[in-house]
Structure 1
Amino acid sequence: MLWKMQYQLWQRPCPGQRRPPAARPGPARSAQCAGAAGAVAAWATRWRSRGGTASPRRAARQPTECFLSQPKEKQESAVKAKKRKKKKISDVLQKSAPKPGVPADLQNLLTQHFGENRSVIEIEELKLSDSCFLPANDLTHSFSSYLKEICPKWAKLRRSHKEKKSLVMLVLCSSALRSLELIKSMTAFKGDCRVIKLFAKHIKIKEQMNMLEKGMFHIGVGTPGRVKALVEQDVLCLNSTKYVILDWNWRDQKLRRMMDIPEIKKETIDLLEKSIIKLCRDGSVKLGLF
């Protein structure tokens, strides 16, 4: 602020002095101003002839209304265009009433599985007649009551069985936990029969091999994968087996049956093809769907 006051005092004339008169423009400057004024007048004349206004300035733009973009409502077509969520098997099965398995279900499953890779003759060899099947569970039986119905002469078969590496009855299910449930639920049927667990959870295959080689068992309950491995290593022989029971109708927490699980389905079909179907066609083994 101090320098501004000094500057003002410096411009102020001393007492008794007059401010020098402003310099007048010379002739060259006057000519330039006159030329510029003429150019502006000529431009204004041309602007009027074209229908414009006399002012050389551009007309101010009219203010336009501004609208905020509102979110568009979802149309039905937009909803349909979205990728539909795949239906899970549990969603489908929750809406459908449970139906008991029948021998035709197993036959259709085998035909669908081998239909693309096998000839007609090979598929015919895999088909089983109705005489190869035991009465199916109608969803009213417990496991013990079902076994009593299909095996009325179980006491005689149990006493006559004395072979090692073999079983009188083989039960196939989807998991180790389900195997334990079935073993507990057959207490009223098995009596003092010896039951062996044929699954992989917490049990090594060498332990099961030693048990089959040294001991005698009447019933085996387990998963198709472990049973298939024991059969392939010639530790378990199915020639003396009379009954093979598939835990067909039971569903897990996801409402899947054993044949709805891809791994269990493949292992079960492989075991049926390599060992069980031939024995069923010969008449020595009966298949049951619980």
Structure 2
Amino acid sequence: MATTEVKPSADKNPKRIRNPSLGPNKDLKKKKKTKKSKALAFDKTLEKSNRNEQKSENDGDEQPDSQPASASEQLSFFLNQLESAIGVRVSTIELDPIKDKCIVELSQRLEQNVSNLGEHIKMSYGSSWRESLCEGELIEGKVDTGSPSVLVVSSSALRSLELLRGLHSLTKQCPAVKLFSKHLKVEEQVSLLKKRVNIGSGTPSRIKKLIDIEALGLSRLDMIVLDMHTDVKGFSLFTLPQVRDEFWDLYKNCFHQKVLEGSLRICLYGPKPSAPKVKNNKKQRQNQH
């Protein structure tokens, strides 16, 4: 009886096994590229989301039924936060001399986003903006070293860098100083603060440390810009655990007395408490009468 030889079946896709050793390597490379592309896509989506959130907040402020918070409303909000955080209450006698000039009222024509920060600060200084914010020459006896006119305080190093981008037009001649700890040593910052400084941007803990070691001066400080932006998790300078405590420690020890003396202004930059509830209360009273 003749035996029938069974031939192996032909591979329907011979190209796939032409060089089997390349298969796994190619797959790994593809996976790495896929992960990288996904990470980049996530970053872009995150940035777009932040822009959209900021835009929607600003658009909301422009609606006729929701007026932007006035200076007095912003001051009330800030003092409530102060009392809640550290139990410091400002009396009416202390408040009366400063309440009209304590809070910086920003232009309603410009959105309060990163790109407009420099323009807002410039407008708040009026005709003296160039001398206070731009000039880089150190004048002995008139301009103290390491003493900025403006301090921008935010909840993270990344956010501090973002805000510095908005200040670029003011810092070409006299660069702003980065006052946060990420990738920056105290010694480096001390060296930078031996020059004229007009603007600093950083986080509460590092700002406080540099003040404590007398590297960062407050003799020229005229305005603190407090970033009201919320991150992707909904936290801000006033609500992020630990950072919130560090900020109020900084404010109480370094800024509060200057605010009471009327020599330091507070700028709440970004989404603020609005006034609809106050309006509704007024309407209710009118209806009751």
Task: Give the alignment's TM-score, normalised by structure 1.
Answer: 0.58
* Alpha-carbon shift at residue 198 of structure 1 (Å): 0.3
* Alpha-carbon shift at residue 137 of structure 1 (Å): 7.1
Could you tell me how far apart the structure 1 residues matched to 2:201 and 2:211 are? 14
1:171 aligns with 2:141: no
SS of the equivalent of 2:248 reads helix
Could you tell me how far apart the structure 2 residues matched to 1:210 and 1:185 are? 24
The letter of the residue matching 1:111 is E
Q: 1:137 to 1:278 in 2, by over 3 A?
A: farther
Larger deviation, residues 175-184 vs 147-156? 147-156
1:39-54 matched pairs, under 5 angstroms:
none
1:105 aligns with 2:77: yes
1:223 aligns with 2:203: yes
In the alignment, which residue of structure 1 is the partner of 2:111? 140
The letter of the residue matching 1:204 is K
* Alpha-carbon shift at residue 236 of structure 1 (Å): 1.2
User: Structure 2 residue aligned with 1:282, among 261, 269, 273?
Assistant: 261
User: Structure 1 residue aligned with 2:131, among 118, 143, 156?
Assistant: 156
Could you tell me how far apart the structure 1 residues matched to 2:86 and 2:165 are? 36
Q: 1:262 to 1:274 in 2, by over 3 A?
A: same
Could you tell me how far apart the structure 2 residues matched to 1:216 and 1:247 are? 24
In the alignment, which residue of structure 2 is the partner of 1:186? 167
Q: Where in structure 1 are there 5+ consecutive unaligned residues? A: 1-93
Could you tell me how far apart the structure 2 residues matched to 1:108 and 1:132 are? 15
Say if 2:144 and 2:219, in contact at 8 Å, map to a contact too: no
Say if 1:137 and 1:289, in contact at 8 Å, map to a contact too: no
Say if 2:157 and 2:203, in contact at 8 Å, map to a contact too: yes
1:219-258 matched pairs, under 5 angstroms:
219-248=199-228, 250-258=229-237
Larger deviation, residues 129-138 vs 198-207? 129-138
* Alpha-carbon shift at residue 191 of structure 1 (Å): 3.9
- Identity of matched residues, %: 28
SS of the equivalent of 2:101 reads helix
Could you tell me how far apart the structure 2 residues matched to 1:229 and 1:126 are? 28
The letter of the residue matching 1:140 is E
Say if 1:194 and 1:216, in contact at 8 Å, map to a contact too: no
Could you tell me how far apart the structure 1 residues matched to 2:224 and 2:218 are? 10
Could you tell me how far apart the structure 2 residues matched to 1:137 and 1:108 are? 24
User: Structure 1 residue aligned with 2:179, among 198, 201, 221?
Assistant: 198
Could you tell me how far apart the structure 2 residues matched to 1:165 and 1:185 are? 21
In the alignment, which residue of structure 2 is the partner of 1:10? none
Q: Where in structure 2 are there 5+ consecutive unaligned residues? A: 1-52, 62-67, 270-289
User: Structure 2 residue aligned with 1:266, among 245, 259, 276?
Assistant: 245
* Alpha-carbon shift at residue 123 of structure 1 (Å): 4.5
Equivalenced residue count is 188
Say if 2:132 and 2:198, in contact at 8 Å, map to a contact too: no
* Alpha-carbon shift at residue 206 of structure 1 (Å): 1.7
Could you tell me how far apart the structure 2 residues matched to 1:148 and 1:123 are? 30
Query: CA-atom RMSD, angstroms?
Result: 2.6
Q: 1:182 to 1:168 in 2, by over 3 A?
A: same
Say if 1:167 and 1:241, in contact at 8 Å, map to a contact too: yes
1:4-153 matched pairs, under 5 angstroms:
98=57, 102-115=74-87, 123-124=90-91, 129-136=99-106, 140-141=111-112, 142-152=116-126, 153=128
* Alpha-carbon shift at residue 126 of structure 1 (Å): 8.0
Say if 2:155 and 2:243, in contact at 8 Å, map to a contact too: yes
Task: Give the alignment's TM-score, normalised by structure 2.
Answer: 0.58
**Per-residue CA distance 1:68-98 (angstroms, 9 max, x = gap):** xxxxxxxxxxxxxxxxxxxxxxxxxx9xx85
The letter of the residue matching 1:132 is C
The letter of the residue matching 2:221 is T
The letter of the residue matching 2:233 is K
Say if 2:106 and 2:124, in contact at 8 Å, map to a contact too: no
